[in-house]
Amino acid sequence: DGGITQSPKYLFRKEGQNVTLSCEQNLNHDAMYWYRQDPGQGLRLIYYSQIVNDFQKGDIAEGYSVSREKKESFPLTVTSAQKNPTAFYLCASSWASTNTGELFFGEGSRLTVL
Amino acid sequence: AQKITQTQPGMFVQEKEAVTLDCTYDTSDPSYGLFWYKQPSSGEMIFLIYQGSYDQQNATEGRYSLNFQKARKSANLVISASQLGDSAMYFCAMSATSGGSYIPTFGRGTSLIVHP
């Protein structure tokens, strides 16, 4: 079955540690996105990538980093520079950036900083 | 800059009744897409319906319809015959150009509770 797989589903981190959230898709989509969701804030774009080896910052990229070495994979690293990393993180993908294609989402990763 | 506004933090509806969830948007791009997603308590995001800016007719998908009023820049979601399983967060989103790319932008969401 085609889809997007995010892991881990739950993650606990101590302050000062970097953590990496995995996102893999087998939909052959070109575009991939990372969103952060906080209660009452909706989804805010962290990073997006439209093609392998290229990515752009979204609205809240500070304290995060990504890579896109393979079409299928778009991991997100939450660095120690992110001041308030506790949140629900959603990875999504779509066909090449258009205004007609819906996003396909993973099940999300919930990060808690202890 | 693109902006999506959902002014209803929470809505309540009786089972089998219809409900309208409001969404207004702002963009200077003449070509854009409007989307609605549902997020149950499990957290997954489910695509519901799409409306293109050049579409003449309102989009419909089963019990979902999108009331598209272009001049007013509104894209309200209408759910007919509400079911208990419709209780969830609902997000309006728009895909319009930003720096040459189509970037999806989301509203803050509306929490819908369906009463038996």
Distance, in Å, from the CA atom of B89 to the CA atom of B11, rounded to the nearest integer, reads 10
DSSP per-residue letters across chain A: ---EEEE-SEEEE-TT--EEEEEEE-S--SEEEEEEEETTTEEEEEEEEEETTEEEE-TT-TTEEE--SBTTB--EEE-TT-S---EEEEEEEESSS-SSPPPEE---EEEEE-
Which among A48, A88, A90 has the least Cβ separation from residue B103? Answer: A48
* Among B4, B37, B64, B102, the residue to mutate for chain A (most A Cβ within 10 A): B102
pLDDT at residue B1 is higher than 90: no
CA A4 – CA A63 distance, rounded (Å): 24
pLDDT reported for residue A16: 87
Shortest CB distance from A102 goes to which of B42, B47, B97?
Answer: B47
CA distance A5 to A102: 17
Mean pLDDT of B19-41: 95
Q: Do A35 and B101 touch (CB under 8 A)?
A: no
Contact A103 B47 (CB under 8 A): yes
- Please indicate whether, in this complex, the C-beta atoms of B106 and A35 are within 8 angstroms of each other: yes
**DSSP H helix total and E strand total for chain B:** 0, 12
Question: Is the peptide bond preceding residue A75 cis, with omega within 30 degrees of 0?
Answer: no
User: Which residues of chain B are within 8 Å of residue A45 when distances are taken between CB atoms?
Assistant: 103-105
Spatial separation of the C-alpha atoms in residues B2 and A6, rounded to whole Å: 28
* CB distance A85 to A113 below 8 Å: yes
* pLDDT value of position A39: 85
How do residues B85-108 score in pLDDT, each as one tens digit? 999 999 999 998 876 778 899 999
Token pair belonging to B5: 């506004």
pLDDT at B46: 96
DSSP reduced 3-state for B86: helix
- pLDDT tens-digit series, residues A37-54: 998 889 999 999 999 999
Task: Tell me what percent of the residues of chain A surpass a pLDDT of 70.
Answer: 98
Distance between B98 CA and the closest CA of chain A, angstroms: 11
**B108–A35 CB contact, under 8 Å:** no
Q: Does the structure show a pLDDT above 90 at A23?
A: yes
Residue with the bigger pLDDT between A108 and A81: it is A108
pLDDT above 80: residue A98: no
Q: Check if B8 contacts A (Cβ < 8 Å).
A: no
The predicted model gives A107-113 an average pLDDT of 95
Length of chain A: 114
